[in-house]
């Protein structure tokens, strides 16, 4: 079944303008039609009937006394031509001449008319009448048979309507501007940016703006408190771990090798936990060359002996948190080389978004479990156990959280080129 979606404006200002303009146009159309049909044509028919009476009297005078008919014609302000000097057999009027249709219809009801000419001169009516003494021509002023021209009234109505529409649209735009500013502030905060915002506009808009400011303040306080708490936890955990490493370094290496590996594993786990809970809220947004950032991540991985190369890299500069995006990209690269042998980084610039992709030749993730893989502390396979060299299930979660904080998302798929996992971070521009 085919469904047709209405082609309506997507913006609130466009829809509000549509709601404002459509009723005005409808009222104008209905009023114009009713005015022309009921008033303009009706008055014209009444005037044409009066003219019909005068013409009937003139025709009777022509039958009785053709010579005296000229005096009667002058008294009635007609121009009488006997016999007729012009001859036409069909009515003539302009297509848009609405009153002309009423004139012809009314005069033909009670007069021996052959034809009516309304095109020769817009200010005149020319008639061809049949009498017992032959055809005669009667010429008269159009104003005697037509209602006063309503064009001036219609033009005044249209001009006034346009003026009032413009005034109403300006007022409406002024009322919608605070909503647009609130949307901008909310969108920026969703990307991790804090822009100045002051509630304005109607009472309901001010209430929504104040609620947004309160919500933003609570979230910022929670992030600040969480950051302070994690800083203390980091200090408290790293200090005993450092002492343990020093004590183990002074002992026999054969007895402490396993313990040193355990301590290093604990430090790595602590780092991942802190990265996940800290997020990127403490970092400022700045203009960053995304292509250079991708190059730096690839070079760092190559220095560590990992097979990481660059694919398509579009030059693009955009505002973001460089350390956070670098951490997210490094997490994807780390997963790629941990479960595969090589990884390819790509940067694709679009009109509204920038996509950072990492593809590998590993086993990939089944389509049914890709959403599950983005959940924190999720390890899909036994070989991903941290005690066996795997992670704690936070790499993809951290990358997804960083993508969301930049107004984007993390998407998992299958690499068409390498056959493994294709992870793509989308960042809103």
Mean pLDDT along residues 205-213: 87
Q: Of how many residues is the chain composed?
A: 429
Look at residue 426 and tell me whether its pLDDT is greater than 70: yes
- The pLDDT-based confidence of 377 (bands split at 50, 70, 90) is low
Q: pLDDT (tens digit, 9 = 90+) per residue, 240-279?
A: 777 777 777 777 666 677 677 777 767 766 666 666 555 5
Mean pLDDT along residues 154-178: 80
CATH, domain range 283-428: 3.30.565.10
The pLDDT assigned to 399 comes to 86
Say if residue 123 is exposed, middle or buried (CB neighbours under 10 Å; 0-12, 13-18, 19+). exposed
Pair 316, 355: CB distance under 8 Å: no
Cα(390)–Cα(301) distance, integer angstroms: 18
Q: How far is CA 396 from CA 179, 189, 317, 389, in A?
A: 35, 23, 24, 17
The pLDDT assigned to 343 comes to 93
The region that residue 279 occupies, defined by phi over 0 for left and psi between -120 and 50 for alpha, beta otherwise, is left
Domain ranges of the chain: 12-149, 283-428
The pLDDT assigned to 386 comes to 46
Look at strands 134-141 and 124-131 and give their pairing: antiparallel
C-beta neighbour count of 152 within 10 angstroms: 9
Mean pLDDT along residues 297-325: 90
The region that residue 191 occupies, defined by phi over 0 for left and psi between -120 and 50 for alpha, beta otherwise, is alpha
Cα(153)–Cα(25) distance, integer angstroms: 16
**Residues 287-306: b if buried by 16+ CB within 10 A, e if exposed:** ebebbebbeebbeebeeeeb
> Edge-to-edge strands of the sheet including 343-349?
308-313, 343-349, 353-360, 421-428, 409-414
Q: pLDDT (tens digit, 9 = 90+) per residue, 94-152?
A: 877 777 888 888 888 888 888 999 888 878 899 999 888 889 999 999 888 876 655 66
Q: What is the Cβ-side half-sphere exposure of residue 32, based on CA atoms within 13 angstroms?
A: 16
In terms of pLDDT, which residue wins out, 302 or 386? 302
The pLDDT assigned to 288 comes to 92
The pLDDT assigned to 4 comes to 45
Cα 368–Cα 370–Cα 375 angle in degrees, nearest 5: 125
Look at strands 286-289 and 134-141 and give their pairing: unpaired
Q: Which fold has domain 12-149?
A: Beta-Lactamase (3.30.450)
- The pLDDT-based confidence of 389 (bands split at 50, 70, 90) is very low
Mean pLDDT along residues 361-384: 74
SS3 127: strand
Tell me the β-bridge partners of 354. Answer: 349, 427
Percent of residues, the chain, with pLDDT higher than 90: 16
Q: How far is CA 107 from CA 47, 73, 98, 141, in A?
A: 10, 17, 15, 15
Q: At what angle do helices 203-249 and 151-190 cross, to 10 degrees?
A: 20
Cα(338)–Cα(128) distance, integer angstroms: 102
Mean pLDDT along residues 175-199: 82
Q: pLDDT (tens digit, 9 = 90+) per residue, 47-87?
A: 888 889 999 988 888 888 888 888 888 898 899 988 888 77
Mean pLDDT along residues 378-391: 52
The pLDDT assigned to 344 comes to 94
Residues 6+ apart with CB under 8 A from 88: 114, 115, 117, 128
Cα(58)–Cα(79) distance, integer angstroms: 11
Pair 93, 121: CB distance under 8 Å: no
Cα 345–Cα 348–Cα 354 angle in degrees, nearest 5: 110
The pLDDT assigned to 7 comes to 67
In terms of pLDDT, which residue wins out, 227 or 94? 94
Look at residue 1 and tell me whether its pLDDT is greater than 50: no
Look at residue 28 and tell me whether its pLDDT is greater than 80: no
Instruction: Pick the closest to residue 192 from 108, 74, 281 (CA basis).
Output: 281
The pLDDT assigned to 2 comes to 47
Instruction: Pick the closest to residue 273 from 335, 306, 229 (CA basis).
Output: 229
Cα(359)–Cα(343) distance, integer angstroms: 5
The pLDDT assigned to 165 comes to 78
Look at residue 25 and tell me whether its pLDDT is greater than 90: no
Say if residue 192 is exposed, middle or buried (CB neighbours under 10 Å; 0-12, 13-18, 19+). buried
């Amino acid at each position: 079944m085919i469904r047709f979606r209405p082609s309506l404006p997507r913006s609130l200002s466009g829809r509000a303008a549509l709601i404002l303009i459509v009723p005005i146009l409808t009222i104008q159309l209905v009023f114009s039609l009713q005015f022309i049909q009921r008033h303009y044509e009706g008055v014209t028919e009444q005037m044409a009937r009066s003219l019909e009476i005068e013409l009937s009297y003139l025709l009777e005078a022509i039958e009785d006394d053709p010579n005296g008919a000229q005096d009667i014609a002058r008294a009635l302000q007609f121009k009488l031509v006997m016999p007729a000097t012009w001859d036409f057999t069909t009515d003539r009027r302009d297509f848009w001449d609405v009153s002309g249709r009423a004139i012809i219809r009314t005069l033909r009801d009670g007069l021996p008319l052959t034809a009516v000419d309304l095109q020769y001169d817009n200010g005149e009516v020319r008639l061809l009448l049949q009498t017992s003494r032959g055809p005669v021509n009667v010429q008269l002023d159009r104003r005697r048979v037509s209602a006063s021209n309503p064009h001036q009234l219609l033009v005044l109505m249209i001009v006034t309507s346009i003026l009032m529409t413009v005034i109403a649209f300006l007022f409406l735009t002024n009322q919608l501007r605070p909503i647009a500013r609130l949307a901008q502030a909310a969108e920026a905060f969703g990307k991790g940016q804090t822009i100045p915002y002051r509630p304005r506009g109607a009472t309901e808009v001010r209430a929504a703006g104040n609620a947004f400011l309160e919500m933003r303040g609570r979230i910022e306080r929670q992030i600040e408190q969480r950051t302070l708490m994690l800083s203390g936890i980091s200090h408290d955990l790293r200090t005993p771990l450092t002492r343990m490493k020093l004590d183990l370094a002074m002992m026999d290496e054969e007895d402490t090798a396993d313990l040193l590996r355990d301590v290093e594993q604990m430090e790595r786990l602590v780092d991942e936990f802190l990265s996940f809970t800290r997020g990127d809220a403490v970092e400022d947004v700045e203009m960053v060359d995304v292509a250079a950032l991708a190059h730096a991540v690839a070079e760092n991985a190559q220095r560590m002996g990992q097979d990481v190369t660059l694919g398509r890299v579009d030059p693009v500069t955009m505002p973001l948190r460089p350390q956070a995006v670098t951490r997210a990209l490094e997490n994807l690269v780390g997963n790629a080389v941990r479960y595969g042998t090589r990884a390819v980084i790509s940067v694709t610039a679009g009109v509204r978004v920038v996509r950072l992709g990492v593809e590998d030749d590993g086993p990939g993730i089944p389509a049914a479990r890709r959403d599950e893989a983005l959940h924190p502390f999720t390890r899909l396979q036994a070989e991903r156990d941290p005690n066996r060299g795997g992670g704690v299930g936070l790499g993809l979660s951290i990358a997804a959280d960083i993508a969301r904080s930049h107004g984007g998302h993390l998407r998992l798929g299958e690499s068409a080129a390498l056959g493994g996992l294709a992870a793509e971070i989308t960042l809103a521009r």
